[in-house]
Structure formats: structure tokens, C-alpha cells
Amino acid sequence: MTVMDVENLARTIQIVLAPVVMISACAITVGGLWGHASSINDRLRAMNRERLELWRSASDDVYTTERLLQIDTQTPSLVCRHRRVIQAIVTIYAAILVYIVSMFLIAAASMMNISATLALLLFLAGTLLLLIAIVLAILEIRISQTAIEFEVQRAGRLRPE
């Protein structure tokens, strides 16, 4: 192997590993989103459990009626938030897959001395998927803010009997 071959090999390895940075960013983001999805999941289960307990108690006081209304109003929002986070997670996994395929295309283009345009387009597609996932996460955060405002406003209206 000549010096030029070693230099080309080293440069090719560097280029092939460039998508790894994006894969790492995706992994960090997906880890945070999994924690978020788990938190929403736990909240949904707790609210459903609370709803069943309130129904079982058959109490007809103002607090029970109000809390059931809050739960019934917030549950669809939580389900929507959970769905949005899961969509973001799946989109990020798709981005990771696209980045991995682009790594193979970069290596193949380098070995065969052909254009790496397709690899670049795939890399950009992976970046677009990551952008879509971030937009989904932003939309979920907005829904979250609306739900918090609703619960705080409703609880603030309650007065002791």
C-alpha cells in the first residue's frame, strides 16, 4: 500500500464515519424521547386508575365530579401527546437507518470511484427525518402546555364547600 493509498483510505474512513455524528445525535434525542414517552405512559395509567377509583367510590361531590371532568378532558390530549412522541421516535429510528445506509453508499462510492451523490441525498434525507421528528416533539410540547393550563385553571376555580 502506497502513501497515497493510505491517505485515501484514511480520508474515506473519515467520510464514512461522518454520519456517525448524526446517528449519535439521533440516539441522544431518542433516549430523551423514550423517557418522555414513558412519563406520559405512566401519567395515562395513573389517570385511568384514578378515574376507575373515583367511579368505584360512587361519590357525587363537587370534587369528584370536577376531577372526573378533568380526567376525561385530559386523557385524549395525553393519548395524542403519546402518539406524537412515538411518531417522533419512529421517525428518528428511520433517520438512523437512512444514515447507516448512506455510510455503506459512501464506502461503495469510494471503493468503486463513482459519484457519491446518492449517498449525499440519503444523508440529507436522514437529516430531514430528524427535522420532522423534532417538529413532532415541538408539537407535543405545545399540547403539553395547553393541558397544564387547563388543569391549573380548572383547579383554581374550585372553592371549599
In this prediction, residue 37 carries a pLDDT of 95
8 three-state secondary structure: helix
pLDDT score for 1: 54
Which residue would you say has higher pLDDT here, 19 or 158? 19
Q: Where residue 97 falls among pLDDT bands split at 50, 70, 90?
A: very high
- Read off the pLDDT band of 3 (50, 70, 90): low
pLDDT, mean over the chain: 88
User: What's this model's pTM, rounded to 2 decimal places?
Assistant: 0.81
Give the integer Cα–Cα distance in Å for 18 and 138. Answer: 27
Q: What is the DSSP letter of 58?
A: T
For the cut 90, the answer to whether the pLDDT of residue 91 exceeds it is yes
- Which has more pLDDT, 106 or 92? 92
Q: Please compute the mean of the pLDDT values over residues 113-137 and round it to a whole number.
A: 92
pLDDT given at position 127: 94
Task: Please report the DSSP string for 111-139 in residue order.
Answer: HHT---HHHHHHHHHHHHHHHHHHHHHHH
Q: What is the pLDDT of residue 38?
A: 96
- For residue 59, name the pLDDT band (cuts at 50, 70, 90): confident
pLDDT the model gives residue 160: 65
Asked whether the beta carbons of 35 and 105 are under 8 A apart, the reply is: no
Q: Region 41-46: what's the mean pLDDT?
A: 95
- Going by pLDDT thresholds of 50, 70 and 90, the confidence category of residue 78 is very high
Residue among 113, 116, 134 at smallest CA distance from 33: 134
